[in-house]
Amino acid sequence: MGNYLEYANAPVLLTAAIVVVAFVALQSALFLAVALKRGAAAGLDRARMLKALRTGVTTSIIPTLPIVMALIAIAPVIGTPVSWMRLSVIGSAPYELMAAGIGAKTMGVDSLGGAGFTPTVFANAAWIMCIGSFWSIMIVSIFYKGIKKRYSSKIQADTRWREVMTGACFMGVFALFMADPITTGGTALVTFAAAAAAMTLCLVLVVKLKLDGLKEFALTISMLAGMAACVLWTSLAG
């Protein structure tokens, strides 16, 4: 069947990705146009609105760095079109890696791009990536009012409930991602440990030294640390 990357980087997939990303960009442009129009109707000065726009664009550059790093890391494995499309629309590298990994493991392949990662396995991984996020959006869209009503009633009854629920959800997600490298060991564990150490160091610097500006770079720094440790360990292990 050939190398799966021949299919993953096929022109038809690149064309589909361009269409999806262009549609998202069009939505953004339309939203911006409506925002400027509504702002003018509300009596806001155009120069002031443009200044706010420039500020928003500038401050949004740093938070996108982790997504760019994720694209650089994922594209060689999943292919540029699917990686570009997914991270442009969703922007969640952990989910994309998890979903692609689940898709591969259901086909009997332990690692993305590893031995046995055929075009069929790639197609299964890509479908899991897309369908997995689709249902969460649909559930929220359909049941949003009911979810919001129950959530608001819980918050009004006990404000601590929100903190407990949010913390529990995050801890569950983190535990899911931590389990695989810890049990696998080797390069995966070294990469995980280096990234975790870098993130912990950033957290200490933010809390102890009040370096709030470091928050935006923490994920990028931890990803770079993990990748550097992976390369170093692989080189030493031979």
Query: pLDDT tens digits, residue range 171-190?
Result: 887 787 788 788 888 888 99
Over range 109-121, report the average pLDDT: 83
Residue ending a domain, among 142, 157, 172, is: 157
| Angle (deg, nearest 10), helices 160-184 and 186-209 | 150
Contact 181, 98 (CB under 8 A): no
For residue 176, the enclosing domain spans 160-238
What pLDDT band is residue 153 in, cutting at 50, 70 and 90? Answer: confident
By CB atoms closer than 10 A (0-12, 13-18, 19+), residue 197 is middle
CA-to-CA separations, 134 to 87, 142, 169, 195, 220, in angstroms, rounded? 14, 12, 19, 29, 27
For residue 192, pLDDT over 80 is answered with: yes
In this structure, of 1-5, 26-30, 44-48, 128-132, the range with the lowest mean pLDDT score is 1-5
Strongest mean pLDDT among 7-16, 39-48, 143-152, 205-214: 7-16
146 and 225 fall within a common domain: no
CA-to-CA separations, 17 to 77, 124, 128, in angstroms, rounded? 17, 18, 17
235 and 178 fall within a common domain: yes
135 and 170 fall within a common domain: no
For residue 94, pLDDT over 80 is answered with: no
For residue 111, pLDDT over 60 is answered with: yes
Average pLDDT score over the chain: 84
213 and 233 fall within a common domain: yes
For residue 196, pLDDT over 70 is answered with: yes
pLDDT of amino acid 198: 93
124 and 63 fall within a common domain: yes
Sign of CA dihedral 99, 135, 66, 162: negative
Structure tokens at 36: 């400027």
Rounded Cα gap, residues 150 and 148, in angstroms: 6
pLDDT of amino acid 193: 93
pLDDT of amino acid 81: 92
What pLDDT band is residue 91 in, cutting at 50, 70 and 90? Answer: low
pLDDT of amino acid 229: 92
Residue ending a domain, among 157, 176, 199, is: 157
pLDDT of amino acid 63: 67
Give percent above pLDDT 90 in the chain. Answer: 16
Q: Which residues contact 120 (CB under 8 A, 6 or more apart)?
A: 1, 107
